[in-house]
Amino acid sequence: MSDKTATKAIGAIAAKLGSDRVETAREILTCYAFDATNIKSLPFAVTFPRSMEEVRSIVSLCSESGVHVIPRGAGTGFVGGTVPVTGGVVVSMERLGKILDIDASQRVAVVESGVVNGMLQREAAKHGLMFPPDPSSLEVSTLGGNVAQDAGGPRALKYGVTRDYVLGIEFVTWEGRLVEPVCPGVGSRRWDPLDSLLTSSEGTLGLITKIWLRLLFVPKELVTVLAFFGTTVAAAGAVSRVLDCGVLPAAVELIDSVAMDCIKAFVDVNIPSGAGCSLLIETDGREGEARESMAVVRKVLDGAGVIDVRVAESQAQREELWRMRRSISPSLARIAPSKINEDVCVPRSKLPDLVEEVNKLGRKYRLRVPTFGHAGDGNLHVNVMLDRRDKDEVRRAEAMVGELFEATLRLDGTISGEHGIGITKLEYLPRQLGPAGVVFQSRIKRAFDPGGTVNPGKVIVQS
């Protein structure tokens, strides 16, 4: 793809859709050059379609001259999935932002792919409904991005991930063809291999334009507690015991002491002396159920070495605890200017081993490694803090991440709990998939994108 062909494609798009649909000014391109990884690569242009038809026009005009297209939601991803590594044309979905329908009776929402997760949450709540996937980025990230990455969140423990709520996907293929879902929302069965593939395709198989999502009734009662432990290993051990007690909490989040320190600025939480880690636990259900479930959980915590338990007494206190949890990622900037954020995931029973491994690696490489995440799922967000100007620190951080992935695979875990593969974990994927898995990946990619022009160089690599 030469600049000349790209210029021609961009000209054709502007001529067809209007010049306000295309941006090539460097200051604009810069905003679309990276995601939350801070890995940066400038696109050739950014486009802002306002309808599915405009997405089709953009993609087919690019496809005609082999120009790469990179779909983009809000750019909150942690794996570089939307970074335009080969240049090309970014197709930003931010103006495809309409909730088209909420059918309260069928409990189905139909949305354009640029709708922000939190916007759907609020609209659904008006009908007594909720959309369970709740990544920390929910006030920013788009549903199209959530689907493409199969986003999770704290509630995944009880309610599953985005995949569990996708009823149908409308998408545009590499050549600008439209594919509509089969009977989305009809019946309990969703026989559509394409929906399955597009969900978690990380934008490499097509451009998602419209989504049918299943909603659930909002639980009537929520009880939230923050439980403190002496060490992260002790907290990790308590997680397994909580999950074995016969009630399934809606969330079991771990926050280690480094992360706790960072968020003190955001929330007035009085950490008891001797506390080295905390668990944020929520139960939910109908009236009385959440309280009863939490009573069972608290009995288990008492037997698992808990130091102190704080109960959110009001909705305001509950929201404060969750705001605190969601603030961890941004608050880490207080420690160091950069971080490598990995989300490794192991069988829950091996969580204490993973935590010990992280501690050991932090000491070995002399790095601060605040750790938190969806402990109930065995999923930890390991944040390796660094200053990218310090070349030695960068080298140590990268070596540590490599060892972390090795340890995760050794513990029968997966290198991505929920963030995806993108570009940052690509080199580790073959070990996880095995040779047959890699072959099928590339065959599936070829079936959807024979020219390799849709979000190239990412998780699904062409052979």
Which residues of the shown chain bind a copy of itself in the complex (CB under 8 A)? 105-106, 128, 150, 152, 156-157, 160-161, 163-164, 173, 177-180, 182-183, 185-191, 193-194, 196-197, 199-201, 217, 240, 243-244, 246, 248, 285-286, 289, 345-349, 374, 377-379, 412-414, 416-418, 420-421, 432-434, 436-437, 440-441, 443-444, 446-448
The closest of 160, 158, 162, 155 to 199, measured between CA atoms, is 162
CB-based contact 44:71 (threshold 8 Å): no
Contact (Cβ atoms closer than 8 angstroms) between residue 193 and residue 172: no
User: By C-beta, is 15 or 447 nearer to a copy of itself?
Assistant: 447
Closest to a copy of itself by CB, 188 or 270: 188
94, two tokens: 């931010």
d(CA 185, CA 189): 9
For a copy of itself, give the closer residue by CB, 70 or 346: 346
Rounded distance between C-alpha atoms, residue 57 and residue 21, angstroms? 11
Residue 274 or 451: the one with the smaller Cβ distance to a copy of itself is 451
**Contact yes or no for 98/112 (Cβ under 8 A):** yes
The Cα–Cα gap between 132 and 165 comes to: 8
Please state the closest distance from residue 177 (CB atom) to a copy of itself, in A.
6
What percentage of the chain's residues is helix, strand, coil (to nearest 5)?
40, 20, 40
Closest CA to 307 of 355, 238, 368: 238
In angstroms and rounded to an integer, the radius of gyration of the C-alpha atoms of the chain is 22
Min dist CB 199 to a copy of itself, Å, is 8
Task: Tell me how far, at minimum, the Cβ of 263 lies from a copy of itself, in Å.
Answer: 24
Nearer to a copy of itself, 84 or 376 (CB): 376
Q: How far is the CB of 275 from a copy of itself (least distance, A)?
A: 27
Question: In angstroms, what is the minimal distance from the CB of 135 to a copy of itself?
Answer: 12
DSSP line for 251-266: EEEEEEHHHHHHHTTT
In contact, 225 and 308? CB cutoff 8 Å? no
How far, in Å, are 36, 51, 139 from residue 119 at the CA level? 21, 19, 8
CB of 100 or CB of 447, closer to a copy of itself? 447
Which C-beta is closer to a copy of itself: that of 35 or that of 343? Answer: 343
Minimum CB distance to a copy of itself, residue 47 (Å): 23
Q: How far is the CB of 252 from a copy of itself (least distance, A)?
A: 12
- Spatial CA neighbour of 457 closest among 37, 146, 69: 69
Residue 213 DSSP SS3? strand
Question: Residue 98 or residue 241: which is nearer to a copy of itself going by CB?
Answer: 241
* Least distance between a copy of itself and beta carbon 11 (Å): 29
